[in-house]
Structures are given as C-alpha cells and as structure tokens.
Amino acid sequence: MSDDNDGKGTVEKGTVGFIGFGAMASRMGRHVREAGYRIVAYTPSGKGGDGTTPFLPTARAVAEAAGTVIACVPDDEALEASMYGESGALAGMGAGTLLINASSVSPEAALALADAGARRDVAVLDAPVSGSTPEADAGALVIMVGGTAADVARAQPIFDAIGKATIHAGPSGSGAKLKLVVNGIMGATLAAVAEGVAYGLAAGLDRDMLFDTLDSVAVISPHHKRKLKAARAGDFTPQFPTRLMQKDMRLLLTDAARLAAPAVTVAAATQLLSLTRRADADADYSALFAVLEQIVTSP
C-alpha cells in the first residue's frame, strides 16, 4: 500500500493520479495541486491538461505511483478500458488505496467498478460532479458521491479542493444516479428554452428583445441564462460538449426504462440533442439553439 494513504483516515498529502486529464480534470488537478498534493496523469494520447503535469504511459503506472486515483473519463467504454486488465488502474492499486470515479457513467458501470475494487480491498467512490468548465476553474463544483460515509470522509480534503459542496447521495452507484437526475433536468430544460426561442423567432419577435426578456425573467436558471448569452452571440465554445450531454441523457433513458420510470420529456430532449450532436458533437450542448434557429429562419 502506498504511504500516501494509511487506509483508515483522510487522504494525506501525497500523490494523486488522474486517469483522464481533459478540460474538467486538468482544472480539478490544478486545485488538487494547490491544496498540496503531487499530480500525475494518464490519457490514451499521452497529452492534455496544463503542460506541467507528468504523464505516465499507462493507467496502471499512475495507480502504482499514487495513493489516490481519480478517474475522469467520458463514458462506460473509456472507464472499462482504463480500469481493467493488465494495464488498467485496478491492477496497480494496493490494498487500502482509494479510487474516486468522477466520470459520468451508467449506474451499472459505477457498481461494477465498486465491486471490482472491493475484491482487491480498494475503496471506490462514484463521485461525478455538477458544473462545467467555469465551475471547475473556480473550484466550485458540486460533488455527488456514492459509497460509504467512511470513504467519503477519507476523500473529503480532495473534494474540498475541487468543489463548493459534497453531497453523500447514498451507497455505491448513488452518485451516478444523482448525476443523471441533474443532467436530465438540465438537458430537458435547455431544450424547452431553445424551443421557446425558436417559436418566438418563427412568430416574428425581435431577436434582441426576445433574448433580453429571457435574460430578465426568473423562470430561466442562471445556468440556462449563461447558455442564452452564448446562443445570442453564436459562441458555442464547449463548456459541456453536446456528445457528453447527449450521452448522459441516453444513460438516463436507459436506466429509467429498466426501472419503468416514465421519462417522456427527457426522451424528446434527447432526440433534439441527437440532432445537435450530428451537427457538431464537440460544440457546447447549447448549440441546440442554433440548430432550431436555423430550422425556423431558413427560407
């Protein structure tokens, strides 16, 4: 077991390894480093992030170098590829170490990883975050965690470094489920706002007046007002890429269907986001505004 963590108390200052180091993880890593930890990382490309973090050749190498590992990968397939097998992170983790799965993945994938960790005496938390790159920059993410209270307490110093709030959602898998709730509401709400804008434009309302009005009313959340401003300017620089939002909506639909939980609004919004993903998968998911605007304003 690494001397970075005694396996009983909170994570002590030492080495934290990131599996995946893209737009969100690199910002999280900066705050973890500023909190006094050493950072190492792995990505399949060997690139990414902040230009100062050492990159290691495999996920296993990162796990062998770190007392705590944070996985921040885009989907179930990437999680499986980076966690399992001879080169995967689990193969390099010692008994009593801590794996924080900050990826937005299906509840099934989160639970499978927790079970695999338990067989190696590795504590696993599913801990996806709410917030986009501005919140990651500010260290103001909300962390939604599934796992035991004792393991959440061990990880709390890291959560405090990257976020403004930690929510212990329940046992393993609960963080992944709560993340789908949050993103489902976020995606479906944006779709409704985008449809409202599209109707207003089709009905002949002045574009500037329409956006000004929506920016001033209380029914639009601060998050969606930020997306409205981006849509007004036609700036869809990714803070939350469409491919990831559409993926999360799909995961929610799949699990809702398994539970026979009606999700009609989410289903419709997912189809709209599928259009946006086809148009530009890497654009911010607010590019749905541009997709609908083009439909209603084209001759």
Q: What single-letter amino acid sits at 3?
A: D
pLDDT of residue 73: 96
**Two tokens, residue 192:** 């409704």
**What does the alpha-carbon distance between residue 133 and residue 240 come to, in Å, rounded to a whole number?**
8
pLDDT of residue 52: 85
pLDDT of residue 50: 62
Query: Does residue 8 register a pLDDT over 60?
Result: no
Look up the CATH number of domain 178-297: 1.10.1040.10
Query: Does residue 36 register a pLDDT over 90?
Result: yes
* pLDDT-derived band at 44, boundaries 50, 70, 90: confident
Question: Tens digits of per-residue pLDDT, 162-205?
Answer: 999 999 999 999 999 999 999 999 999 999 999 999 999 999 99
Is 80 in contact with 98 (CB distance < 8 Å)? no
pLDDT of residue 236: 97
Q: Of 254, 240, 118, which is closest to residue 177 (Cα–Cα)?
A: 254
What residues have CB less than 8 Å from 171, skipping those under 6 apart? 146, 147, 148
Question: Tens digits of per-residue pLDDT, 58-112?
Answer: 999 999 999 999 999 999 999 999 999 999 999 999 999 999 999 999 999 999 9
Domain covering 15-171, topology: Rossmann fold (3.40.50)
pLDDT of residue 299: 83
The 3-state DSSP composition of the chain as helix, strand, coil percent (nearest 5) reads 55, 15, 30
Is 287 in contact with 276 (CB distance < 8 Å)? yes
pLDDT of residue 51: 73
**Could you tell me which residue, 92 or 50, shows the higher pLDDT?**
92
Query: Does residue 230 register a pLDDT over 90?
Result: yes
Kindly list the domain boundaries of the chain, sorted by start residue: 15-171, 178-297
